[in-house]
Amino acid sequence: MQESAAWYAADGNLRLEQDVAYDLETDPYRAAYHAEVILKKSREGLVCAFLATLDALQVAVGDVVAVTHPGPGWTAKPFRVTHLELHPDGNVAVQLREHDPTAYDRTVPTGLPAPPDTSLPDPFTVQSPTGLVLASGASHLYVAGDGTVVSRIHAAWVPAADAYLDGYEVQVKESASGTWLPAAAPDAGDTEAYLSPVKDGTAYDVRIRAYNTLGVRSAWATVTGHTVIGKTDPPADVTGFGAFQNGDVVVFQWGQVADVDLAGYEIRYGPLGSATWADGTPLTEVTRGTQITSAAVPPGGWTFLVKARDTSGNYSTGAAAKDLTVVNALDVIFQAQQAPAWPGMKTGFLAHWTGVLVPDSTLGAAAHTNAELFETFVPYPVAQAIYEAPEMDGGFDDTVRVWGEVASALGTGVATGVADPKLEIDHRLEAGAYDGFTPWAVGQVTARFVKHRLVLDTARGRAKITGFLPTVDVRERTEKATDVAVAAGGTAITFARPFHRKPEVRVTAIGSTARIAGANNVTTTGFTAHVFDTGGADVGGTVNWSAEGG
């Protein structure tokens, strides 16, 4: 009798026994050997079967062959051929039974035989993912369906080297907090995940672990103290900025910024060659496009600046710039340079003998030192200085464009601040009343009377005003008529709508007889048409006429 206490325990103390009779065996030692072989072989009960090509007939039943297969984890595992069968299609059916050569060796201990049944990894030990890296910023932002921009942490890792890997668990917490929260559940094939929502400027800890098909978890791989860069990251600078005039409007174009967190663009302008973003006059804001047309640019030399802006109000670091001299494409109906006479009302301004306006002082001359009187530009200026130009009368109620050009510079010897006087206007209808000055750049109003003024905040800069050109203009229009009968001695023509300034009138005689047409007494409301013969007599006739102006 042969038995093994170790195998008996491995089988849960279940007794498995078999009686084998060797009728022709007369040697008890050889019988014991046979029993030992049977005992050992009972632990090696693996069988396998497969179809092979005719090459399989190179072996015979009883031969021992080595089998390698990654599925069950076999590497050169020995099997004995137990069956070979040739099929009609030329394939060979092969059956094998596990073979342990040490089963025939009396010197082998009665413990577990070698080689082992399998080389599969331990399912109760799971490898951790490695190389966990965290990132955030503009390239990782997400735009929700309602347009909301969400900050995210991007986590990337090297996958766990585990044969039974089933997935990952990712958890996140604020570095200052002790509570881990589930953030993502990537699949086994994933190597990255996004974690959101998170707060901009806040530090977070992130950890990840793997689990296998049995639910066994690995140790955590952790990264601590990642500060989220999200909507606080400024958008990229605008490129490809251009500006050109088309009639009485200016067309702006630029390249699209690739940032996800993008609320739009802002354009500002200032004096040609000296404009800065901080001191520029806001012109327009654009949500998403890359072209806009503006009629709000007054004539003159300007530097235009554009920046992208995100949903948190952050601007691009640098401004794209374009210089352009805008010429007036409308008919001027009122324009009067105020310098050097400065005939309007001055509040807090003094007209200097050099022809410029300077801020008044809060102290009299006696309160100044000699150096302040003779070497310093207005050392104690009033907080605000205002110059109001004389009222403009357009003659009748109409829709007109109003703007003004202000020329200024920092006072002599002033090294800090900016020369930044602001334009304001007030207007009224013929039957209306003024309702107060409002900040202005350029735009249309419906009025007969318009007043311009400039306002200087001396806290921004002690500046002198070298010129001020209030302007009102209007789009050019044309009135005309054909086949108009003109009496001898002339016929008065009245315009359907008056012009603000005398228009340019053209009169052409028509008919089979040679005639010469002309006009006199041209006013804003009409003119007198005449038709002369070749001898100069005012004989009358038929004419076509046109009047063009503003």
In-domain check, residue 29: yes
Range of the domain at 139: 130-227
Co-location of 413 and 318 in the same domain? no
251/293 Cα distance (integer angstroms): 4
Write down the pLDDT at residue 115.
Answer: 54
Given a cut of 70, whether residue 300 has pLDDT beyond it is yes
Co-location of 76 and 171 in the same domain? no
Given a cut of 60, whether residue 16 has pLDDT beyond it is yes
Given a cut of 70, whether residue 311 has pLDDT beyond it is yes
Given a cut of 50, whether residue 112 has pLDDT beyond it is no
351/341 Cα distance (integer angstroms): 8
pLDDT tens column, 483-511: 999 999 999 999 999 999 999 999 999 99
215-224, long-range: CB within 8 Å, 24+ apart, which pairs? 216/123, 216/124, 216/125, 216/126, 217/126, 217/169, 218/126, 218/127, 218/128, 218/129, 218/160, 218/162, 219/128, 220/128, 221/128, 221/129, 221/130, 221/132, 221/157, 222/132, 223/132, 223/133, 223/134, 224/175
Cα–chain-centroid distance for residue 230?
12
Please list, in sequence order, all residues whose beta carbon lies within 8 angstroms of the beta carbon of residue 232, skipping any fewer than 6 positions away.
200, 201, 312, 314
Co-location of 351 and 434 in the same domain? yes
151: nearest Cα among 165, 139, 133: 139
Tokens, residue 410: 């920092």
What one-character DSSP code corresponds to residue 194?
E
Co-location of 322 and 407 in the same domain? no
Residue position matching structure tokens 């369906």: 145
Write down the pLDDT at residue 27.
Answer: 81
Do 30 and 37 meet the contact criterion of CB atoms below 8 Å apart?
no
pLDDT tens column, 144-189: 766 677 889 999 999 998 888 999 999 999 999 878 999 999 999 9
pLDDT tens column, 321-354: 999 999 888 888 899 999 999 999 999 999 999 9
pLDDT tens column, 449-486: 999 999 999 998 899 999 999 999 998 899 999 999 99
Please list, in sequence order, all residues whose beta carbon lies within 8 angstroms of the beta carbon of residue 26, skipping any fewer than 6 positions away.
none
Mean pLDDT of 518-538: 94
Mean pLDDT of 294-315: 87
152/140 Cα distance (integer angstroms): 6
Mean pLDDT computed over every residue of the chain: 88
332: nearest Cα among 401, 275, 388: 401
Write down the pLDDT at residue 371.
Answer: 66
pLDDT tens column, 55-105: 999 999 999 999 988 888 889 999 999 999 999 999 999 999 988 887 777
More confidently predicted of 116 and 421: 421
Tell me whether the omega of the peptide bond preceding residue 299 falls within 30 degrees of 0, making it cis: no
CATH of residue 85? 2.40.10
Co-location of 262 and 338 in the same domain? no
**At which of 204, 227, 250 does a domain end?**
227
In-domain check, residue 93: yes
Write down the pLDDT at residue 247.
Answer: 84
350: nearest Cα among 342, 341, 340, 360: 360
In-domain check, residue 481: yes
pLDDT tens column, 173-230: 999 987 899 999 999 999 999 998 888 889 999 999 999 999 999 999 999 999 988 7
Write down the pLDDT at residue 210.
Answer: 93
Going by pLDDT thresholds of 50, 70 and 90, the confidence category of residue 109 is: very low
Instruction: Count the domains in the chain.
Output: 5
**At which of 443, 458, 474 does a domain end?**
474
Tokens, residue 67: 């089998």
In-domain check, residue 455: yes
475/75 Cα distance (integer angstroms): 93
Its pTM stands at 0.54
Going by pLDDT thresholds of 50, 70 and 90, the confidence category of residue 5 is: confident
Co-location of 488 and 466 in the same domain? no
Phi/psi at 374 (nearest 5 deg)? -110, -10
Co-location of 165 and 260 in the same domain? no
Q: Which amino acid is at 13?
A: N
Going by pLDDT thresholds of 50, 70 and 90, the confidence category of residue 370 is: low
Mean pLDDT of 298-306: 91
Write down the pLDDT at residue 146.
Answer: 63
**At which of 417, 441, 474 does a domain end?**
474
516/533 Cα distance (integer angstroms): 6
530/413 Cα distance (integer angstroms): 65
Angle at 418 between CA 414 and CA 420, to 5 degrees: 125
Co-location of 191 and 264 in the same domain? no
Co-location of 35 and 169 in the same domain? no
515/539 Cα distance (integer angstroms): 9
329/68 Cα distance (integer angstroms): 89
CATH of residue 266? 2.60.40.10
Going by pLDDT thresholds of 50, 70 and 90, the confidence category of residue 10 is: confident
21/385 Cα distance (integer angstroms): 126
Given a cut of 80, whether residue 43 has pLDDT beyond it is no
CATH of residue 502? 2.60.40.2080
Mean pLDDT of 108-120: 54
Co-location of 386 and 469 in the same domain? yes
321/341 Cα distance (integer angstroms): 36
In-domain check, residue 294: yes
Co-location of 467 and 482 in the same domain? no
In-domain check, residue 122: no
What's the residue count for the chain?
550
Please list, in sequence order, all residues whose beta carbon lies within 8 angstroms of the beta carbon of residue 367, skipping any fewer than 6 positions away.
none
What one-character DSSP code corresponds to residue 54?
G
Do 195 and 132 meet the contact criterion of CB atoms below 8 Å apart?
no
In-domain check, residue 355: yes
In-domain check, residue 384: yes
Co-location of 338 and 411 in the same domain? yes
